[in-house]
Amino acid sequence: MRLISILDVANTSYDEQVFRTSNTSNIIVFLVFATLIAICTYIFIANGYYLKSFFWNYVIYLWCIFWFGLFVWMAWSRFRSCLLPTNWLVKLSSDRLLVKYRSFQNLNYADTDPVIIELSWRDLNWVRKTKETSSKDHGDSTTTEFFTYIDINLQLSKDELQEIKSALNEERKRKPPASEVGELRHELFQARKSKADKHEIQEIKERIRRAKGNSKSSQKVSGVKHNDYPVRLIDNILRIRWNGLKPKANQAIKSFTLHTKLETDLKLDSDSTSDSLKGKELDDMILDRVSKGDRFDAMTLVKKHYGYSTTEAKKFIDELANKPIE
């Protein structure tokens, strides 16, 4: 086992099968909401005078157009991300398995980061398909989600498992990249805060001016981070979320079983609304929410069952996530 970067894979040619996020659902969402925007805009223009005479009708139509536009932008951004070469989660060949734990949506991150787990087939004990029904509080109601996973039982040393766990935690804590101008502005803020001399402040301002000139001719750096984490480590099991991937989970299982053993399918019920959660079961539920990128639900669980404040809950979750593998 070793951790490698996207560039390490891009620079090498293998006879591999690739599993990636399908763009079909994204283009459907885009077309649906684009159509709704077109309908609302047509009604707005065709009945402009009527709408203006009834103020709340006017506001409602503008509100609908705003939200439909937001969903169109999100769907279009995700669709564009799906078309890039970085849109893959698993690659397998006759001699190895690659699992990329960075979401394809975080395409603005550095390609040099080690975000791919490279495994040989002898590192695997077995593989299985897991179905999960997950319930959580959502205000006054309960939200239920359905997940499909492929679980890989790893035959690795404790140190290797700890290396994977640390890498996954590091990816969750990684901050989005900032532009050169943004970093310099932060440096200027710190210089003014520490009451640096005028010459130093003027020098930073000059660097900002040059950076702004360079940024006009270079690609913009997005500061957006998507809290999407498709890979988790549970003890010695690498759990890969397969929702929205192609080929489907059953086809992937067939490909895996050409190289490793098949374990019986598993069904899970995950309910964070239960009042009976305690001990290891509660801690595992908290870690499950954190690893899914749902830190809000994890904080809610800690506050509810341990009675911690927001600061104490955050500290508890960080300690729990960074706990070494026993």
Cβ atoms < 10 Å from Cβ of 31: 12
Q: Which residues pair with 234 in a beta bridge?
A: 237
Q: Do 165 and 46 reside in the same domain of the chain?
A: no
Q: Do 137 and 277 reside in the same domain of the chain?
A: no
Q: Do 289 and 324 reside in the same domain of the chain?
A: yes
Q: Which residues pair with 151 in a beta bridge?
A: 128, 239
Q: Do 129 and 42 reside in the same domain of the chain?
A: no
Q: Do 266 and 194 reside in the same domain of the chain?
A: no
Q: Do 241 and 116 reside in the same domain of the chain?
A: yes
For residue 245, tell me if it sits in a domain.
Answer: yes
For residue 90, tell me if it sits in a domain.
Answer: yes
Q: Tell me the residue range of the domain where 293 lies.
A: 272-326
Domain boundary among 60, 82, 104: 82
Domain boundary among 66, 82, 98: 82
Cβ atoms of 128 and 268 closer than 8 Å: no
Q: Which residues pair with 116 in a beta bridge?
A: 4, 100
Claim: this prediction has a pTM higher than 0.85: no
Please choose, from the candidates 101, 93, 97, the residue with its C-alpha nearest in 3D space to the C-alpha of residue 127. Answer: 97
Q: Do 37 and 66 reside in the same domain of the chain?
A: yes
Half-sphere exposure of 88 (CA within 13 A, CB side): 16
For residue 192, tell me if it sits in a domain.
Answer: yes
Cβ atoms of 231 and 106 closer than 8 Å: no
Q: Do 265 and 283 reside in the same domain of the chain?
A: no
Q: Do 71 and 206 reside in the same domain of the chain?
A: no
Nearest-5° angle of CA 252, CA 253, CA 254?
Answer: 90
Q: Do 129 and 192 reside in the same domain of the chain?
A: no
Q: Do 200 and 165 reside in the same domain of the chain?
A: no
Q: Do 94 and 50 reside in the same domain of the chain?
A: no
Burial 78-93 (b: 16+ CB within 10 A, else e): bbebbeeebbbbbbbe
Q: What is the pLDDT along the chain (326 residues), one digit of tens a residue?
A: 999 998 888 756 556 789 998 877 777 877 887 887 788 777 766 666 555 556 666 677 778 778 877 877 777 777 777 788 888 999 998 889 999 999 888 878 888 889 999 999 999 999 999 999 988 876 677 788 899 999 999 999 999 999 999 999 889 888 877 666 777 777 788 788 778 888 888 888 888 888 777 655 445 555 677 888 899 998 899 999 999 899 999 999 999 999 999 999 999 988 888 888 888 888 888 888 887 778 888 888 888 888 888 888 888 888 887 777 65
For residue 220, tell me if it sits in a domain.
Answer: no
Burial 105-144 (b: 16+ CB within 10 A, else e): bbbebeeebbbbbbbeeebbebbbbbebebebeeeeeeee
Domain count, the chain: 4
Q: Which residues pair with 137 in a beta bridge?
A: 142
For residue 254, tell me if it sits in a domain.
Answer: yes
Helix (H, G, I), strand (E, B) or coil at 142: strand
For residue 120, tell me if it sits in a domain.
Answer: yes
Cβ atoms of 103 and 228 closer than 8 Å: yes
Domain boundary among 82, 104, 129: 82
